[in-house]
Amino acid sequence: MNKQITLIAGPCVIESMEVLNEVAKELVRLNQAYGIDIIFKASYDKANRTSIHSYRGPGIEKGLQMLADIKSTYGLKVLTDIHESWQAQPAAEVADVLQIPAFLCRQTDLLVAAAMTGKIVNIKKAQFLSGIDMQFPVQKVRESGNNRVWLTERGNIYGYNNIAVDFRNIADMKQITDTVIMDCTHSVQRPGSMGGKTGGNREFVPAMALAAKAFGATGFFFETHPDPENALSDGPNMLYLKDLESVVKSLID
């Protein structure tokens, strides 16, 4: 009944199998309860952390094996980021969706490499671009022979440790591709606001989701964690895992 809603959810970065398993179990439960299309998200490497001392993840080899284990154990689709062209093919052996980070959405070689795998390519809109500008990254993927391309809105940054969301970008990007995702948790970030770490306001996440739905978003992206206060990346903007169901339910209702 709710297959038209795409839900991307999971911890920001792979920390441990314990965290991955706990999140995956909840996503399976939500899938069974609400019949929504759920994709498990976690990054094997966060190459764009604020500080060189920040935790990045277990790396591509170990990280992809951990994601493969989640996929085989729980039957969930998997999404992960790639940052360099050579990562596309090995990541595609596990992931159903390859995600292009926002700051890299104009990197031609990365987009072409992702396209050539034949997997869905989810391009996050850069913080410095408009929705209309995203026609060109999409064109790079399509002209590389892959029409399976999504776009994700995650706000715009103007400095001063804050992000603003112009929800008109969703409507604009729907003119480019049928699947437009709202990244409800990264859009409430406060980049660099914690002295070398990114802060955030997770209390605004439910409203971000509902506003995006009103503007026609076809999917929703939530970073979620059993204990965000002690997460190794993006804790301040991540949803508590226990709160994910209420947000999902509001979108369906």
* pLDDT tens digits along 186-232: 888 666 544 554 566 778 899 999 999 999 999 999 999 999 888 88
Query: Per the structure block, which two tokens stand in for 225?
Result: 């964690």
Number of separate domains in the chain: 1
Structural domain harbouring 227:
2-252
Instruction: Output the pLDDT for position 14.
Output: 96
Q: What CATH number does residue 122 fall under? A: 3.20.20.70
How much is the average pLDDT of 172-199?
79
State yes or no: pLDDT of 27 exceeds 80.
yes
238 falls in which pLDDT band (50, 70, 90)?
confident
Query: Per the structure block, which two tokens stand in for 112?
Result: 């072409």
Q: What digits encode the pLDDT tens for the residues 39-68? A: 999 999 988 777 787 888 899 999 999 999
**Which residue bears the tokens 């999504």?**
150
**245: number of Cβ within 10 Å:** 14
Give the burial class of 82: count Cβ atoms within 10 A of its Cβ; 0-12 exposed, 13-18 middle, 19 or more buried. buried
Pairing of strands 120-124, 149-153: parallel
Q: What is the pTM of this model?
A: 0.92
* CA distances to 161, 184, 198, 208 from 213, in Å: 26, 11, 26, 9
